[in-house]
Every structure is written in C-alpha cells, then in structure tokens.
A and B are shown apart, each in its own frame.
Chain A
C-alpha cells in the first residue's frame, strides 16, 4: 500500500492561477477522527489514481454546521455556513465532493438559500461517475466470495434518496451484496445523527447502534460497508460490543475500492 498521497490545497492552486475540477470537502470527522482519516486517505488515493485535478480547503475549511443545526442552534449553523460560503465563493468553487453525508446534505440543501450554490456530490456518486467515464477501473478479485452488507446512512439515503450509487460500487467488487431486513428507504439509523454522536443516549433498553449491528449480523456478513464516518464509528462500536471484530470488518466503500485497486 503506497503512503504517498498528493493533496493540493485550494490556496496553493489559486496562487498558481489554477482551478481544480472539484473541491474535496473533507469534513471534521475526515480531518480529525483517526478512523475517518483512513477513509479520507483512501479516497484521495483513488482520486490520485484516477488523475483527478482536485483540491482541499485545508485549514480554511470549517465545520459545515450540520451538528449545530440538528441540535437547534440555527445561529451557530448559519454563522458556519456563511463563513464557509464566503471562502467557497471566494475561490469560485462550482463542484464539491465529500465523504460525509452530513456535510453533503447541508451544503447541497441548506447552503443555497444562504448564497452557496454548488454541484454537490457524495463520494459514492462521484466514484460511480469515474467508473462510468472509464477514469477508474477495477481488476477486482480480492473480495470474491465475500458477503458484504451495506448500511444506508440516513442523510444519504432517506434524506437525499441516494440508494443506488453505493450499491453499484459494491457490485463492482465481485462480492455478494446481502441486504439487511431494514434497508434503503426503511434503513435503520446507526444512532449517530441529529448530533447524538456528541452526547450520551437517553434512557432506553438498548443503544441504537447495537440494534442496527444485530440486524447487520443477521446477514452473516464478512464486511459491513458504510458510507459515512459517523455510521462507521457506530457500527465499529457495535461490532466490538458483540466481540466480532476479529471476523467482521466495518469499512467505508472508498476503502473497499481502494483495497480492491491495491492502493
């Protein structure tokens, strides 16, 4: 696995008078969370392999404001949004790709009214396009015969009706895609959304991520595929709770593709 990754920043490209094809919005989890950073890097490796002319905002990026908005702090959300929009518009950004469904949803749906109009893609949509355009291809094989179940992130699925792009990518792996009893429109939340990630759950019989992990386990998977850094954390915790971490991996779709491509 090569560790050499090339991550140009918007500021440096701008200084050279260049413009990237797409801005990669990394997000807070992708920037700071140890597990999510691996997803970020896997995605960058795929971008590098496909020869995509992209850039990140780096230290100019700030929280999209999603957790603030779902908590009910509209003020903080809009402050974040307006600050980010100012920077994005300053660089004349037109197209954004992100590996976080929460950033994806917020920037795509809630920024336009505040002056931020971009074409926003989730990384699964973007990667699917790259395959379709022939800019990425897979020999495949390393996942042959593996059972993979896919957990729909609420903010990608129900919130934005993206169900097929991630599944199509999984199908490229030559593995067996097995669906959980609650999937797509009826997918069960991992328990992290609405800023639950940042607080203790309310009193109940069970944690939501355990319930979801049990549904995943019913499919007897080798791998639980995720498409959101927060879902990834919740499902990883669930698998640890069930002491299955030795036999079942929780991986982002990007990571699956990067591994299949020997990156």
Chain B
C-alpha cells in the first residue's frame, strides 16, 4: 500500500504521455499528406524569426492590451512548467518538494511562480471578459459559432482552475509547514498563497493533507488533460507556433510562388525546336493537377499553418473584404483547412492507413467560390498573423484550381484574361497603340 500513490501517479503519467504521443503521430501523418516543399534553406534567419516571433512574441504587441496579457499568460505557462518537473519527480519517488535543497533560489522560484500565477489569473479573467462580456467583434464572427467559441472559453477555465489549484496547494502546504507536519519540511516562499492560507486556519493536519494532496493531484492530472486536449483545440499553437514561425516565408509578401510544372510547359511551347505534336515521352509523369481543390493538393507548410492557427481573428479583422461585409474571412480559410484535414485524417485512421474517397473536398464543401473571389490579395491577413500563417497562399492555390482545371473564373475575369492573351493588356486595346500616350496632348 505504501507505494500506491507512486504507482497510480506513474500509470497516469504513462497514459497521458502515450495518448499525447499518439496524437502527435496523427498530427505528423496528416501534415505529411501535403505536397513536398523544401524549406531547409537559410537556417540562421529561420532560427532568428522563430526566436523573435514565437518566443519573443514580437507580433503580438502590435495590439498592446491583448499582446501584453498574452505575454504574461505565456510566460506563466512556460515558467510554471518548471514546477511540473518537480511535481513529476515527487510523484514518482514519493518525495516532497525535491528541489527544496536549492535553498534561497528555490524560495525565489516558488515566489515568482506564485506572482506569475496571480498575473495569469488576472489576464485570463480579462480575456474572458473580452470574449464574453465586451464581445470583441473578432471573437463573434460566424466561423466562431459552436466549438471554436466553447474551445476558447474552455481553455480559459482550465488555465484558471490550474492556477487556483496551484495556489491552493501552496497555501495548504504553507499551513502544514507552519504546523510542523511530518514530511512537510519548510521550503519555498509564498507571497501570494500566504493570503489564502488563513482560510485554512484551525483545520487539522489530516484535513490539510487531504486538501494539499487533492490540489496536487488535480493540478498534475489537469496538466496531463490539457496536454491531450491540445490536439483538439486551437491551443495547439503553443507547440506549433515554433515550427510554424521557423518555416514561415522569407520572401517579400508580394512574391507568389511560380508553378514549376507550368514553367516546364511554357518553356516547351516557347522552344522553336520542340515539336508541338510530339506524343509525350513514355516515362513522362502524368500531368500534374494545377492548384488545390482539397487539402492533399496543398503544401505541408500550409497544413502546418492550419493546425497552428489560434483562431485569434487578427487576420480577419484586418481583411478589407471582411470589413466590408463580404463572406471571406482568412481565419475561416485556416479553420476550414484544418477541419477538412482532420476529416481526411479520421478517414485514414478508420480505413487502416488508406484514404477512402468520401465525395467531399475543401472547395465548395468547406470554402465557397464566393469567398475565394472576394480576396484582393492585399496581404493584410499575412501581415496581421502573429505566428506567420499565410491564408492568402491557400486562396491563391484554390483560385489556380478554379481557373486552370475548371475554367471557372467569373466572366469579367475571363474577358480580362482573354484581353491579355490577345492584346497584351487586361483591356481591349491594341498593343500597337501602347505608345499613343506619348503623342497625345
């Protein structure tokens, strides 16, 4: 019986980590459904971007209130996780506050965790108010209905509960230390929970141990739950923001990738020595599909983008189309891509590793043509995203599919393209008149 707690703890830990590993595997498998693209260049710039944008949150503070609060919650999250390390060791070995030997430094650590925990509680409450009472525009757009809205709040509740458990645990511990309870050696400084401790005045050591142990257990189980909740939540960004900013585009935002398959065809057409009627070579690869109608047509980085999206809506609130009441919302583009990718992933899991055609695709079943054609390619969404997501690239790939595979552009655009093809200008003017302006008065 003596080791029951340790054994239970070990089981919980192993289960939590195993489940998490399974989710990470699925995540990696799904992202790899995307097309290959080599982003292994410029490692030093990429590391720097990751350090600045993900770790340093440089783009969060563009909006100071949300930005600074976010930095607090984020720091709280990271730093308080050092405490989790101690909890795990204590749990496995049956020790109590195993790091206490660090003395003064330990006191400093615990004290700073407590202050951060309090700040996190304040920030989380403000975030909750912004979502539910102030109801900021960007949190109540149509794509946020249902799960995304619940998800956003649920995370705040979990964080709040975890912080309260942490402080309760410390408060009861402090009380026990003062009562000189066995096992509870004096360690740590408790600038915040010392104000909670008086609530426990007069309780017996037995009750206090029960409170302390419950808070301790709930705290660590909560963290394990949270870890496994990530995969189903926009909160995945706390992990994926790092690779996502690392692999973010290094090119000027106006530079759209040139399709290599098209370059090959164009070269062939322009080559005077090529025989236009020649049959394709035996070993020629089948003609590539142009653009994207489903998630497998996108590149893996775009799929990683989709999983990383925090649904913050900064992109959508800067989008000129969205601001003027059009259906397009760049955040919805990312959420749809993730939802469809998850659907495809579940299909693959259910069919033992193979995707079985389900008669659905990203285009039309998730993202409508009306949304795609409303985009001005202004890059406001790309600029606004705090973690280097590029919704515009998905819009453009889908337009390529519509135009090159389906010839399904709006008719005005078809005439524009016809004009370029015939006269070298988007309007029906003759190329031979191109210099007329110079002689007109």
A and B are interacting partners: yes
Chain A interfacial positions (CB closer than 8 Å to B): 3, 5, 7, 9, 26, 28, 30-33, 37, 40-41, 44, 56, 58-59, 61-63, 65, 67-76, 78-80, 82, 86, 105, 108-110, 113-114, 154-155, 158-161, 185-186, 188-189, 191-208, 210-212
B252 touches A61 (CB 8 A): no
Q: Please measure, in the bound complex, the distance between the C-alpha atom of A195 and the C-alpha atom of B404, giving whole angstroms.
A: 16
Query: Contacts A59-B431, A72-B402, A73-B417 given: A205-B324 contact, CB under 8 Å?
Result: yes
The reply to whether B435 and A31 contact each other, CB–CB distance below 8 Å, is: yes
Q: Which residues of A contact B291 (CB under 8 A)?
A: 72
B413 at the interface (CB under 8 A from A): yes
A78 nearest in chain B by CB position: B266
Pairwise interchain contact A208-B258, C-beta atoms closer than 8 A: no
Chain A residue with minimal CB distance to B384? A186
A205 close to B425 (CB less than 8 A): no
* B251 and A37 contacting across the interface, CB-CB below 8 Å: no
Cβ-Cβ contact count across A and B, 8 Å cutoff: 217
Q: Does B3 contact A (CB under 8 A)?
A: no
Contact with A along B372-408 (1 / 0, CB 8 A): 0111111110111000000000001011111110000
**Residue B318 lies at the interface, judged by CB distance under 8 Å to chain A:** yes
Bound CA span A212–B324, Å: 10
B324 to A206, Cβ gap below 8 A? yes
Residues of A within 8 A of B401 (CB): 72
Contacts of B409 in A (CB 8 A): 71-73
B403 and A71 form a contact (CB under 8 A): yes
**B370 touching A203, Cβ below 8 Å:** yes
- Interface segment, one of B14-22, B36-44, B49-57, B325-333: B325-333
State A159–B321 Cα separation when bound (angstroms): 18
With a CB–CB cut-off of 8 A, which chain A residues contact B353?
none
Q: Is the CB of B325 within 8 A of A63?
A: no
CB < 8 Å: which of B251, B325, B400, B412 contacts A199? B412
Asked whether, in the complex, the Cβ of A75 is within 8 Å of the Cβ of B262, the reply is yes
Q: Answer yes or no: B270 CB below 8 A from chain A CBs.
A: yes
Q: Which residue of B lies closest to A9 (CB)?
A: B435
Contacts A59-B435, A67-B426, A160-B252 given; indicate if A72 touches B321 (C-beta within 8 A). no
A191 with B376: CB separation less than 8 A: yes
Contacts of A210 in B (CB 8 A): 324
Cross-chain contact A189 with B413 (CB below 8 angstroms): no
Is B290 an interface residue, CB under 8 A from the partner? yes
> Which residues of A are found within 8 Å of B133, using beta-carbon distances?
none
